[in-house]
Each structure stands twice: as structure tokens, then as C-alpha cells.
Amino acid sequence: QFTSAFAGKLINIHPSLLPEYPGLDTHKQALENGDLMHGVTIHYVDEGLDSGPIIAQGALKIDPSQSEAKLAQRIHKIEHALLPKVIAEISKGLISLKGKEVKFESKSYFGKNNMEFFNV
């Protein structure tokens, strides 16, 4: 009920490239599965577990020799870069949720491509 009362007003930042790895231990799962890429997803919150409409994603190449803690540090850098951009665009009305679909105004940075690659 909480999420439906605030539909289109709650966002979450999740440390994986959803729909891959909803929930916890995302860095560990990415390393254990030998993934080449990992990242961050900013999405609207719905009733499901990390299942809301995706606003933006940031990705990086995984160094398979690095620790889970080091990967988490790199992911945090992407979160810190991406989240303020998304919040700014939402506050300017450039990003909104219509039903279950994310709408991007033409001036939105994320409108044409909501995936950004980082070298961190």
C-alpha cells in the first residue's frame, strides 16, 4: 500500500544492472558468475523486489582479480555520479512515470540512451 500511495514519487538505486541480480549480494553474484560488466540501476519503486521501471543505468567492466569490496567501491562512484543527475532531471520535470512507463522529455540527458558507461 505504501508504494502505491507514492507511485511515481519513490526511486531506488540498486547495485546491479537490473533485471539481473535483484535483492542482496549483487557484487558477489557478479564476481562468482564471471560477469564481464556490472553496474547500477536507478528505478521507480513498485510493489516488487527491484522490479520497478528503469530510469537509468551505469555500467563498468569487471576486473575479475578484484575483491568484492573493491568492486563495491567502484560501483559507489557510479552511484554518486548518476543519482544527482537523475534527481535533477526528475525535479525539472524531464523524467516522469506514466503508468508503468518512464517518460523522458526531449531535453532529458537520459532520453535517448539511459545506459552510461564508466571507467572507474
Which among 14, 27, 38, 43 is annotated as catalytic?
14
Characterize 27-45 residue by residue with b for buried, 16 or more Cβ atoms within 10 angstroms of its Cβ, and e for exposed: bebbbeeebeebbbbbbbb
Q: Phi/psi at 78 (nearest 5 deg)? A: -65, -45
Which amino acid, one-letter code, is at 10?
L
Q: Is 14 among the residues known to form the active site? A: yes
> Cα separation of 11 and 52, whole Å?
9
Tell me which residues are annotated as active site. Answer: 14
